[in-house]
Amino acid sequence: MLKRICLGTAVVLGLGALANGLFMLVSPVNWYFAVPGVTTTGPFNQHFLRDIGLIFLFIGSAFLVGTARPTYRVALWSAASLWLCGHALFHIWEVAVGICEPSALVRDFAAVTLPALIGAALSLWALRDRQAEGGTGSV
């Protein structure tokens, strides 16, 4: 049962990242104005938003491919989660140094911190699952 929940969660996380990345690539201006708080982080930059859109496509693909291909799951999910965690830590740093108000952490939690926490938990589960099935446990 836990395996089905983890795989289902990875699919949802992957599809969400793909959707976000596609939105950023196809309509960066609309993405910029649609996502709460983004306009307070600096001026619109189409090139930057499309760069990040590509990253989200890779993250979404990593979770989806990892769901379908257990051999690569730990590596793919861990790599995607590493970026998600770095992104979340960057948001925390911005608050810590006074760039953003603490309320930004609450506003951004569902879209920034929660995916990082979920990705990290899924990566740890995948590592334990691999070890339980007799794999090497290496990433």
Query: Taking the chain, what is the end-to-end CA distance rounded to the nearest angstrom?
Result: 24
Per the structure block, which two tokens stand in for 15? 């599809």
Q: What is the pTM of this model?
A: 0.92
For residue 67, CA distances in Å to 26, 59, 108, 116, 125 come to: 26, 12, 26, 17, 12
Walk along the chain (139 residues) and give the pLDDT tens digit of each residue.
Answer: 999 999 999 999 999 999 999 999 999 999 999 999 999 888 999 999 999 999 999 999 999 999 999 999 999 999 999 999 999 999 999 999 999 999 999 999 999 999 999 999 999 999 999 999 886 655 4
- Ranges of H-type helices in the chain: 2-26, 28-34, 46-68, 70-96, 103-108, 114-132
